[in-house]
Structure 1
Amino acid sequence: MFQQIPWSQGVWSDTPRSYIEKDGSLVVEASEGSDYWQKTMYDFVHDNGHSLLGPWNGEDAVEVSFQLEGFDHLYDQAGLMLWSHSGQWIKAGVEINDGVPHVGAVVTDGFSDWSLAPVPDWAGQTVTIRASRMRDAVIIRARTEQHPWQTVRVCRLAEVDWQAGPFLCAPTSAGLKVAFTRWVRTKPDADLHADPY
């Protein structure tokens, strides 16, 4: 069971340089210098990334898919944002680190932390990022059409109001365009150690 979420139902946290619907996809260009981060290691706060957000109560899983093409510069990134407020959010997706695509997550509750793993063979493919609530936690998974689900992160999900949707950032350069192909609600995970479907 998949319930497609229309792009028009989302509200931008920070309006990107451009966005347009094309053949069912949403093609978005990030503004140079857009990013999300809270304090840890760098002391700075960045909250001008681009997230297209809609309500998410955690009863259903949420998934976002996008094409991993045109990610050329350090920290170019896209994926799924779970958002409560500027000091509490979780972003998960793919970003460029040292010239290689990495799948990872940043979990923020006052301070940000970052986990990642290289996925060089995902380049040029359609990536899906999934979040599913389980008790007091959220399970974040990722895959491509040619690769199976892998668990990216299990972390606490506070009992507060959340929003969710696609996001992208271009912290170090201009010109990043991302084609988001899918934004859906679907059945939640039944078990941490079983694929969702």
Structure 2
Amino acid sequence: MTDTIAWTSGTWTNEPERVSADGDGLRVTAREGSDAWRTTSYGFVHASEHALLASFAPESAVEVQFHLDFSEQFDQAGLFVKVDDETWIKAGVELSDGEESLGAVVTRGASDWSLAPVPAWAGRLVTVRGSRSGDALTVRARVDDEPWRLVRVAPLDPNATVMAGPFCCAPSRAGLTVRFTSWRRTAADASLHPEA
């Protein structure tokens, strides 16, 4: 079972600079300085991300797809999963020190950050999938129709009210426009590891 989520069914955490329809997709222009981070290493709290969120039920998955076209430090887009202002996860691709990198920020009071370079993904369609099962969120991603890669397994309260959807941020510049091509709800992953 896979259901398309209407762009109009979500609510923005922070309004972007511009939003416009692009066929079945959505073009989102981020505000300069937008970001999501809490405290760790940098000492600041940023909660100005542009995340379009809808309900994320237990034992289900949410997928966001976008065209990867970044050019400036910390340009980023992907999937945002939010419980409250101090409990959230963002996962996707970020341009870090000149290289496209796949990663996640998991925040429970304070943020952590993990990245892995994916320069071959530039200019292609990226899908980020968050699967909510039991007490965990399992994040996977892929480019085009290549196999899924495991990005992160993070704790997520099974009883929490959770929202999720596409996000983008432009911490270091104006003019970042991300073209999101789909937002879908589907069944949760059957298991953490592929069957042997």
TM-score where L is the length of structure 2: 0.97
> Counterparts of 1:24-173 in structure 2 under 5 Å?
24-69=24-69, 71-158=70-157, 159-173=159-173
SS in 2 for 1:154: strand
The alignment status of 1:181 with 2:181, answered yes or no, reads yes
Measure the CA separation in 1 of the matches of 2:114 and 2:79: 15
> Matched residue pairs, number?
194
The runs of 5 or more residues in structure 1 that have no matched partner are none
Contact 2:126 2:142 in 1 (8 A): yes
Measure the CA separation in 2 of the matches of 1:135 and 1:58: 8
CA RMSD of aligned residues (A): 1.0
In the TM superposition, residue 146 of structure 1 has moved relative to its aligned partner by 4.4
SS in 2 for 1:8: helix
Measure the CA separation in 2 of the matches of 1:127 and 1:22: 17
In the TM superposition, residue 135 of structure 1 has moved relative to its aligned partner by 1.6
Q: Identity over aligned residues, as a percent?
A: 51
Measure the CA separation in 2 of the matches of 1:194 and 1:19: 38
In the TM superposition, residue 58 of structure 1 has moved relative to its aligned partner by 2.4
Measure the CA separation in 1 of the matches of 2:116 and 2:37: 19
Measure the CA separation in 2 of the matches of 1:72 and 1:58: 36
In the TM superposition, residue 95 of structure 1 has moved relative to its aligned partner by 0.3
Contact 2:61 2:187 in 1 (8 A): yes
Contact 2:76 2:169 in 1 (8 A): yes
Moved over 3 A (4+): none
SS in 1 for 2:126: strand
TM-score where L is the length of structure 1: 0.96
